[in-house]
Amino acid sequence: MRNAPYLDGIDPFAATVRGLTEPDPVRAALRAAGPLVQVDAPAGGRAWIVTDDALAREVLTDPRITKDPAFAPPGWDRDTAGLEQTAAAQPSLTTLDGPEHTALRRAHAPLLNAQRIRAQSGRVHTLARQLLTELATGRTTVDLMAGFTTRYPLTVLLDLLGIPLDRVDQAADSCRQMFGTEPGAQGRAIAALTELAAAGLGEDGRGLAAELRDRVPAHTSPDQLRYHLFGLIFAGQLTTDAALGVLIARALATGRHRGTVDRADTDALIRETLRQHPPAPFTLWRFTTAETEFAGTRLPARAPVLVDIQGISNDPARSPGPDLVFGAGPHFCIGAQLAHLELHAVAAVLRTDFPDARLTVPFTELRLTGIGGLQGSRLTALPVALHG
């Protein structure tokens, strides 16, 4: 058994700013090095990155690989690594595996399945329309990254969960604080978002928060329930925010928001946008529970493993078929249906209500900012004249 090649001097976790149309050279270098590649991890030691689609699907379904941060390399600093607490300290969809994870997924799944989300379609279109109309009123140009892409997914999520919408701005501030650099910023942001989530859990709560409360396993504590709600709010905002920016930019640049565009065309635009610019460029950290072999390569116990979703999605040799934009296996994104609805609704509202909308800078001048780590990039700004 051999060791995976080590790529010295390549940092896939660096903060970046680059043009929307510029390819990411790091991804090509990772792919060229092999299906499983070692790099320096941000929190010290090595990380193993999977760059091959088939191997990624094996890794994402292999019970020898766990999400539990208790298996992180000894000495890793949680903040530097961007890790949650251990599954014992903070059981959640993203820290548990096996039967406990399955039980929690069962509690969540019916709330966010295709049928339930389809039933929200009218409401989500109304929210998209309201927010864009408010933004357009009295303004010639608006920066949709500042005024829309964060607020809209949060508005949809809070509305679904049954949390009053006057808390949207507070939720947006806390989501931004999740990446604050002052000591303790992330802990304070999580505390603020869990407190906010509790607003959906009152006696008269009628949204999905109250429904989840009635469905989670009986041993779930109130704090744990609020953390599950925090997980939905944060994961749902972060990813959809980034996706919306690039989707709107591409729709306006290609005129795909005008005229008679059918659903299949919008589907294709969304799929292509997410594939080229996956909002989650990596999966979350996983760790080997014992020494393991993959594709003839040895991984030590407690090896941190990531799937390079962005590199795999943009592999020129990739065969057509399902992509990894929402992950695969038991941790497949539970919000995928909702994300699709949100993106569709915006494309539809631009078409019906803002057919003259246009970018006020050339598409090729739009820039993506990535804060580094496992986080994806979002457009630095998206200046748009909504009424042309």
Positions touching ligand HEM (CB under 6 A) are 93-94, 105, 112, 231-232, 235-236, 239-240, 243, 274, 278-280, 283-284, 325-327, 331, 333-335, 338-339
| Residue 2 β-bridge partners | 297
Residue 383's SS3 state is strand
- Which residue's Cβ lies closest to ligand HEM? 335
Question: What string of H, E and C letters represents the secondary structure of 23-81?
Answer: CCHHHHHHHHHCCEEEEECCCCCEEEEECCHHHHHHHHHCCCEECCHHHCCCCCCHHHH
Angle between helices 151-161 and 222-254 (to 10 degrees): 140
Q: Yes or no: say if 350 and 142 are a contact pair by the CB < 8 Å rule.
A: no
| Residue 65 β-bridge partners | 288
Dist. CA 166–CA 155, nearest whole Å: 9
Strand-strand pairing, 16-19 and 36-40: unpaired
* Minimum distance, C-beta of residue 113 to ligand HEM, in the bound complex (Å): 12
Angle between helices 208-215 and 151-161 (to 10 degrees): 50
* Minimum distance, C-beta of residue 19 to ligand HEM, in the bound complex (Å): 21
Residue 353: both structure tokens together: 């209500």
* Minimum distance, C-beta of residue 276 to ligand HEM, in the bound complex (Å): 12
| Residue 26 β-bridge partners | none
Which residue in this structure is represented by tokens 């990155």?
Answer: 49
Residue 124 CA from chain centroid, whole number = 19
* Minimum distance, C-beta of residue 112 to ligand HEM, in the bound complex (Å): 6
Residue 168's SS3 state is helix
* Minimum distance, C-beta of residue 94 to ligand HEM, in the bound complex (Å): 5
Residue 216 or 333: which CB sits closer to ligand HEM?
A: 333
Dist. CA 39–CA 5, nearest whole Å: 9
- Residue 368 backbone dihedrals phi, psi, to 5 degrees: -105, 130
Residue 191: both structure tokens together: 């505390």
Residue 209 or 325: which CB sits closer to ligand HEM?
A: 325
Residue 38 or 310: which CB sits closer to ligand HEM?
A: 310
**CB 259: neighbour CB atoms within 10 A?**
8
Dist. CA 363–CA 254, nearest whole Å: 10
* Minimum distance, C-beta of residue 204 to ligand HEM, in the bound complex (Å): 23
* Minimum distance, C-beta of residue 366 to ligand HEM, in the bound complex (Å): 18
* Minimum distance, C-beta of residue 315 to ligand HEM, in the bound complex (Å): 17
Residue 112 or 142: which CB sits closer to ligand HEM?
A: 112
Dist. CA 159–CA 246, nearest whole Å: 24
* Minimum distance, C-beta of residue 352 to ligand HEM, in the bound complex (Å): 22
